[in-house]
Amino acid sequence: MSPPAVRCERLVHVYATVDEEVTALRSIDLEVAAGETIALLGPSGSGKSTLLWILAGLTRPTAGTVELSGRPLQGLTAKETTNLRLKDVGVVLQTPARNLLPYESAVGNVVFAQRPLRRSGRAKRERAGSLLDAVGLTSVAHRRAGSLSGGEQQRLAIATALANAPGVLLADEPTSQLDHNSAAQVLELLRHTNREFGTTIVTVTHDAAVGAAMDRTITIRDGRIGAEGRAGEEYLVVGRDGTIQLPEAFLGTLPPGSLATAHRTPDGIELRPARIDQP
């Protein structure tokens, strides 16, 4: 069996600024099988982008390990990490412009992304043309990337990330600036890429259509994995230390900070608010 495309264990990340520390990830365990597609969901500030940057080798975690296809990221040199991103791991960052060469044309960006491949210039331009077509950018192929709209840049970033048919695609909110039709086009390209090339996809998204199209959803709350969705069903995830996050709907019954007792029942466990008599 091939190793998982992505495996991380006990990932912790703390941003230290001059006057404060922000804990963005608090022990994340995650495995994504080769060829699997997952959506990372969760409120703003919950740690999704941090996780994606770490998986892409762009941020070094404060603690914990990341393996891509069985290879520990920590063991790679800076050059090897860059090579990995050039060939094997496509990355779409949350700010579309950050993925692109602004003075290069749209088609030039997708050609440039193929620089590690031994392919003729003509084959590279053909590949670029068909990717631009798939994301609906044929009419702006020769415009400078920097002059495109946010939505066009976002679609170009996806075409660029897929240029080398990477084994893994990491995408941060790839449809956030797109209208309904363009978003549907991008989603179709993701599905096609997964089916055709077996590309593993990890995408941060707030778009319900993208979430529903992935094999699994992982919801992150406050730097922890709070829930997992499969085939429309939402599950709690029991953490390494036994922690679970209660779904928000239950916080009325058991507000944060309240005490509860756990009871075995024939088919599971029941939580009851504790009734404590004040002395």
Interface positions with Mg ion (CB under 5 A)? 49
x/- letters, 17..46, toward ligand ADP (CB under 6 A): x----x-x-----------------x-xxx
Helix axes 150-161, 121-134, angle to 10 degrees: 130
- By CB atoms closer than 10 A (0-12, 13-18, 19+), residue 89 is buried
The verdict on 245 binding ligand ADP (CB under 6 A) reads no
Cβ proximity to Mg ion: between 32 and 220 the closer is 220
Cβ proximity to ligand ADP: between 15 and 103 the closer is 15
Residue 47 interaction partner, one of Mg ion, ligand ADP, none, beta carbon < 5-8 Å per kind: ligand ADP
User: How many residues form the binding site for ligand ADP (CB under 6 A)?
Assistant: 12
Dmax (CA) of the chain = 83
Residue 124 interaction partner, one of Mg ion, ligand ADP, none, beta carbon < 5-8 Å per kind: none
What is d(CA 71, CA 85) in angstroms, rounded to the nearest whole number?
14
The verdict on 77 binding ligand ADP (CB under 6 A) reads no
Which residue type is seen at 258?
S
Residue 45 interaction partner, one of Mg ion, ligand ADP, none, beta carbon < 5-8 Å per kind: ligand ADP
What is d(CA 272, CA 130) in angstroms, rounded to the nearest whole number?
58
Beta bridge partners of 221: 224
> Strand ranges (DSSP E) for 36-124?
37-41, 63-68, 71-72, 89-92
The verdict on 49 binding ligand ADP (CB under 6 A) reads yes
Per-residue tokens: 250: 């239950």
- Residues at the interface with ligand ADP (CB under 6 A): 15, 17, 22, 24, 42, 44-50
